[in-house]
């Protein structure tokens, strides 16, 4: 299988290093070295055993001024190393874990540096080269290089401490399939199993404590915070995790500062100045190494920024004394995260009994003893100490009262036990017939050990914790929340547990126990640049570009909050929900049958329909009576049919708009009017033509017969029908959404036709009304026996008034569709009612209430005129004692002084249904 470029490169580096070791061995041999052995340059703590575990611990701090190693690391170094040795001792005395097998250890110092730890890790993989052909390595003198001893293979490695160390070591160990269990490396990068597939840890990744810190910030509604992180995997990955959590909770980062590795006093002074420049950011979230946290507090103290910041710190600060030493007042009120661990009394007993004279397996214990007790060990060849400040170490000094168990001891204990229990289960599987180390366990398969045993490990450590790993090799997250405060009784500063956080229970915090900077309680500090916007407002960031500071601007009524910085139009027919986070479709409004706007026109239409039907039935019953015959029966039925259509169209206008209803509306309104006014126009035109012709000659005008009148009326109606058909083709019927006067929260369902188009469609009917009115005016002075023209005139005058009032009302109520439809319905019904009342009330009165007058003689009402030129108009019109006419009457020609014409009316058998009074 092909090996990646990175893997080949690392293999090359390893081979080159070992080639140098063998060359060095050859040089020593050639020069006659007394020992003939390669002396180890690296010290290690050792426990001999059948199975060896490797260990990496920061026994020393980083060196200054180019030195690899610095001062002894009292707690994180020696205590942690001894915790591993202590656990190995307990396992060897435990009859249930690896019985019959002695577990050994080889532990190296990393000096808190990744490169230094990588060099020490090469010792763990020396056994992987034990099977190399020695003929491949030759010394300068031509001799074959031989190994002094065959090293025992390492089963797995416990460590490292810092994430930067573990990352470099993990890259090397994965090439040799050596499992690695860390007790303190929390970088989120190490959860990437594609890159660190042989790495697991008994501590949770920083993403968990970043979540815990974000929960704390969110609990107090701090929306504007600053962050400071140490350069490296721990600080940068941790702060990135926090920032991701903050963004998801709308927590704004005012400024993010990175502390570089080789920082000095100026670096921290600049960082503090930058933090102080953000006046509204009172909360500072820290993902710092302990040294960086201390220097940051010192810089804040130099600037005299007391009570300026509230620190929220990761476990890099935790509950250690080093960052706050001498900076107690500056650190007061700080909330820190610490891995939830339990103190192990057995380890305290073990550690406090250690003596430099008897602890031979730890080569750094003497140095630790000297540092703790401020003394110095001297060998036999050393000169006596003359400096009175430095005293001799006796090895019997008592431990200082300041001793405190390091918080990672339990995690080291769990890491070693997880490795041992996995080896125990593997031993039982591959060596089922013996408790001793069999041949199959001589060379341990690291891949199988990791995937089949370590990742499936689950046990209770006896100190309240369950040890198990998830699919990424991470332990379950659980933390304690500490508050640094001054004890009111002892007047000393101390860390107080105020809450805890875990994946299962999330954040649990006792707010009442919190003490803030300057010792304030109860009222917690605020940290926000701008007040939160209301639910209907968006954040406007000005030219400053600071996304944490904004001005709240209210969205328009018809807009919803797309995101915190944008309002967006919901669109036509949609309206924002109450929370302004989304839009809903507005219900379409249309005329409802049970409203007063519908009931009034419907009642009027129903009355009109009943009245019209009553007239029609009456006319049909008295079809052959003189009054009906004198009315022009055919045109009367046309006119009554038009009235029925006008009344019926009210129900169509009130109905819910649809394509069919809208088509009927557009056709019905114009058609109903055209039937009425075409009939009236035909009737008034006939009267006018008769009298105009009479003035010129005695000849009877053409097209005055009933059939002619029907044809003329149908032609006039057909014109309206053609116009309507063309209109429907050009503008197909349908529905539309109408927003009245920009009121976006109202959606009215209307027919697709515009109001102007509707008015244009009535222009033909208006023309009929105007012409009909002109004829009515023209024929207003005809003889009284032709008084139906006066009723037509009165009807047309009233109709004009109705329509003149309707037009401004209709277009003035566009924003109230109910009023508009009601006005239209009433106007149509009134137009029909006027025609019905003015033209048919006199006839119905005679037919119903005065049937005695429904005779030929009275219907003629002095229709003939004496052929005496001397006769005055008044005598002609008032002559009620004229000779009676028979049913077949012959009118003589008389001179009418008012018109100056001679009128002749002859009895016509073909027109016997049309008496002279109906002309």
Pairing label, strands 51-57, 154-158: parallel
Highest mean pLDDT among 193-202, 439-448, 715-724, 748-757: 193-202
More confident residue, 695 or 405: 405
Highest mean pLDDT among 201-205, 474-478, 527-531: 201-205
Nearest to 233 by CA among 199, 265, 271: 199
Give the confidence band of 845 by pLDDT, cuts at 50, 70, 90: confident
Mean pLDDT of 606-613: 92
Distance CA 608, CA 827 (A): 13
Distance CA 895, CA 904 (A): 10
Mean pLDDT of 267-281: 92
Show the tokens assigned to 826: 């009433």
Tell the residue number behind the tokens 């002894």, with chain if given: 72
CATH superfamily ID and name for 206-340+477-513: Response regulator (3.40.50.2300)
CATH topology of domain 596-622+630-848: Rhopdopsin 7-helix transmembrane proteins (1.20.1070)
Distance CA 449, CA 427 (A): 10
Q: Which of 142-151, 737-746, 763-772 has the lowest mean pLDDT?
A: 142-151
288-333 residue pLDDT tens: 988 899 999 999 999 999 889 999 999 889 888 889 998 999 999 9
Mean pLDDT of 601-629: 87
In DSSP terms, 201 is beta-bridged to 182
894-906 residue pLDDT tens: 333 333 333 333 3
More confident residue, 518 or 268: 268
**912, 890 contact by CB (below 8 A):** no
486-521 residue pLDDT tens: 988 888 999 999 999 988 778 999 998 999 887 777
CA distances from 749 to 5, 176, 357, 571, 818 (A): 70, 76, 99, 16, 11
6-56 residue pLDDT tens: 555 555 555 554 444 444 344 333 333 333 333 334 789 999 999 999 999
Residue 223 is given by DSSP the state: -
Q: Domain segments of the chain: what residues?
A: 44-129+151-201+345-354+403-468, 206-340+477-513, 537-585, 596-622+630-848
Tell the residue number behind the tokens 């398969």, with chain if given: 445
pLDDT of residue 907: 36
Q: Is 50 exceeded by the pLDDT of residue 625? A: yes
In DSSP terms, 47 is beta-bridged to 105
Q: Is 80 exceeded by the pLDDT of residue 856? A: no
Mean pLDDT of 430-438: 86
The percentage of residues in the chain with a pLDDT greater than 70, rounded to a whole number, is 80
**417, 467 contact by CB (below 8 A):** yes
Right CATH number for 537-585 from 1.10.8.590, 2.10.50.30, 2.40.50.140, 3.40.50.12780? 2.10.50.30
Distance CA 625, CA 623 (A): 6
CATH superfamily ID and name for 44-129+151-201+345-354+403-468: Response regulator (3.40.50.2300)
Q: Is 60 exceeded by the pLDDT of residue 919? A: no
pLDDT of residue 899: 37
Packing angle, helices 163-173 and 233-248, rounded to 10: 110
Give the confidence band of 391 by pLDDT, cuts at 50, 70, 90: confident
794-843 residue pLDDT tens: 888 888 888 888 777 777 776 677 888 888 888 888 888 888 888 888 88
- Asked if the domains 44-129+151-201+345-354+403-468 and 596-622+630-848 are classified in one and the same CATH topology, the answer is no
534-575 residue pLDDT tens: 888 998 887 766 677 888 999 998 899 988 889 999 888 888
Show the tokens assigned to 365: 């214990």
pLDDT of residue 279: 87
pTM of the model: 0.56
Residue 138 is given by DSSP the state: B
Distance CA 524, CA 249 (A): 20
Phi/psi at 697 (nearest 5 deg)? -160, 175
CA distances from 748 to 130, 164, 822 (A): 89, 68, 15
- For 466, the enclosing helix (H) or strand (E) is strand 466-468
Residue 794: Cβ within 10 Å count = 16
More confident residue, 662 or 153: 662
């Amino acid at each position: 299988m092909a090996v990646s470029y990175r893997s080949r490169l690392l293999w090359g580096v390893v081979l080159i290093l070992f080639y140098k070791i063998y060359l060095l061995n050859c040089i020593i041999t050639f020069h006659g070295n007394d020992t003939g052995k390669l002396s180890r340059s690296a010290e290690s703590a050792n426990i001999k055993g059948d199975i060896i575990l490797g260990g990496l611990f920061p026994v020393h701090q980083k060196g200054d001024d180019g030195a690899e190693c610095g001062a002894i690391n009292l707690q994180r170094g020696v205590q942690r190393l001894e915790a591993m040795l202590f656990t190995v001792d307990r396992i060897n005395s435990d009859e249930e874990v690896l019985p019959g097998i002695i577990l050994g250890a080889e532990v190296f110092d990393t000096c808190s540096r990744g490169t230094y730890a990588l060099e020490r890790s090469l010792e763990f993989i020396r056994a992987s080269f034990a099977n190399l052909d020695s003929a491949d390595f030759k010394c300068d003198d031509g001799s074959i290089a031989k190994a002094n001893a065959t090293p025992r293979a390492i089963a797995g490695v416990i460590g490292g401490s810092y994430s930067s160390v573990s990352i470099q070591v993990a890259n090397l160990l994965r090439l040799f399939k050596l499992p690695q269990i860390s007790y303190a490396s929390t970088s989120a990068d190490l959860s990437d199993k594609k890159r660190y597939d042989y790495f697991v840890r008994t501590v949770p990744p920083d993403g968990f404590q970043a979540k815990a810190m974000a929960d704390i910030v969110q609990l107090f509604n701090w929306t504007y915070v600053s962050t400071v992180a140490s350069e490296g995997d721990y600080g940068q990955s941790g702060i990135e995790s926090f920032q991701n959590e903050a963004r998801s909770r709308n927590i704004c980062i005012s400024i993010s500062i990175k502390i570089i590795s080789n920082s000095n006093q100026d670096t921290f002074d600049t960082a503090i100045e930058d933090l102080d420049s953000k006046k509204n950011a009172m909360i500072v979230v820290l993902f710092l190494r302990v040294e960086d946290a201390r220097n940051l507090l010192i810089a804040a103290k130099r600037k005299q920024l007391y009570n300026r910041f509230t620190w929220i710190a990761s476990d890099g600060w935790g509950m250690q004394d080093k960052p706050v030493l001498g900076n107690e007042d500056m650190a007061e009120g700080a909330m820190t995260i610490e891995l939830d661990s339990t103190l192990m009394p057995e380890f305290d007993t073990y550690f406090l009994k250690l003596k430099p004279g008897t602890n031979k397996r730890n080569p750094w214990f003497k140095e630790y003893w000297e540092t703790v007790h401020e003394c110095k060990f001297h060998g036999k060849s050393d000169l006596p100490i003359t400096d009175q400040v430095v005293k001799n170490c006796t090895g019997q000094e008592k431990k200082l009262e300041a001793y405190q168990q390091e918080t990672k001891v339990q995690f080291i204990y769990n890491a070693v036990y997880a490795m041992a229990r996995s080896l125990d289960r593997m031993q039982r599987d591959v060596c089922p017939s013996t408790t001793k180390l069999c041949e199959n366990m001589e060379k341990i398969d690291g891949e199988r050990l990791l995937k089949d045993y370590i990742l499936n490990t689950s046990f209770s450590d006896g100190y309240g914790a369950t040890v198990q790993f998830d699919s990424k090799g991470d332990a379950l997250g659980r933390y304690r929340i500490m508050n640094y405060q001054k004890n009111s009784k002892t007047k000393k500063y101390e860390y107080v547990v105020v809450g805890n956080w875990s994946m299962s229970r999330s954040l649990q915090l006792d707010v009442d126990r919190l003490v803030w900077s300057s010792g304030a309680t109860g009222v917690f500090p605020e940290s926000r640049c701008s007040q939160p916007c209301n639910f209907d407002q968006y954040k406007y960031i000005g030219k400053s570009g600071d996304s944490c500071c904004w001005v709240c601007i209210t969205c328009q009524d018809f807009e919803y909050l797309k995101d915190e910085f944008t309002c967006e139009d919901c669109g036509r027919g949609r309206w924002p929900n109450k929370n302004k986070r989304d839009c809903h479709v507005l219900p379409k409004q249309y005329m409802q049958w049970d409203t007063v706007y519908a009931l009034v026109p419907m009642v009027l239409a129903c009355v009109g329909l009943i009245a019209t039907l009553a007239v029609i039935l009456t006319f049909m019953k008295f079809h052959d009576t003189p009054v009906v015959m004198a009315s022009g029966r055919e045109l009367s039925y046309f006119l009554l049919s038009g009235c029925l259509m006008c009344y019926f169209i009210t129900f169509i206008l009130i109905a819910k708009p649809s394509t069919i209803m809208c088509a009927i509306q557009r056709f019905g309104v114009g058609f109903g009017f055209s039937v009425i006014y075409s009939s009236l126009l035909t009737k008034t035109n006939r009267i006018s033509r008769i009298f105009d012709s009479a003035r010129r000659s005695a000849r009877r005008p053409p097209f005055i017969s009933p059939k002619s009148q029907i044809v003329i009326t149908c032609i006039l109606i057909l014109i309206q029908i053609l116009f309507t058909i063309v209109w429907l083709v050009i503008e197909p019927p349908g529905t539309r959404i109408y927003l009245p006067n920009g009121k976006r929260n109202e959606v009215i369902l209307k027919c697709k036709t515009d109001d102007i188009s509707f008015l244009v469609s009535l222009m033909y009917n208006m023309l009929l009304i105007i012409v009909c009115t002109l004829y009515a005016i023209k024929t207003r002075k005809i003889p009284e026996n032709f008084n139906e023209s006066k009723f037509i005139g009165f009807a047309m005058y009233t109709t004009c008034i109705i329509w003149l009032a309707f037009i401004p009302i209709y277009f003035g109520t566009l924003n109230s569709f109910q009023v508009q439809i009601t006005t239209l319905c009433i106007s149509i019904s009134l137009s029909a009612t006027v025609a019905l009342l003015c033209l048919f009330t006199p006839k119905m009165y005679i037919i119903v209430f005065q049937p005695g007058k429904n005779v030929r003689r009275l219907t003629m009402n002095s229709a003939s005129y004496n052929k005496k030129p001397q006769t005055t108009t008044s005598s002609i019109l008032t002559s009620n004692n004229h000779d009676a006419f028979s049913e077949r009457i012959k009118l003589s020609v008389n001179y009418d002084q008012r018109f100056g014409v001679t009128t002749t009316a002859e009895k016509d058998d073909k027109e016997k249904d049309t008496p002279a009074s109906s002309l």
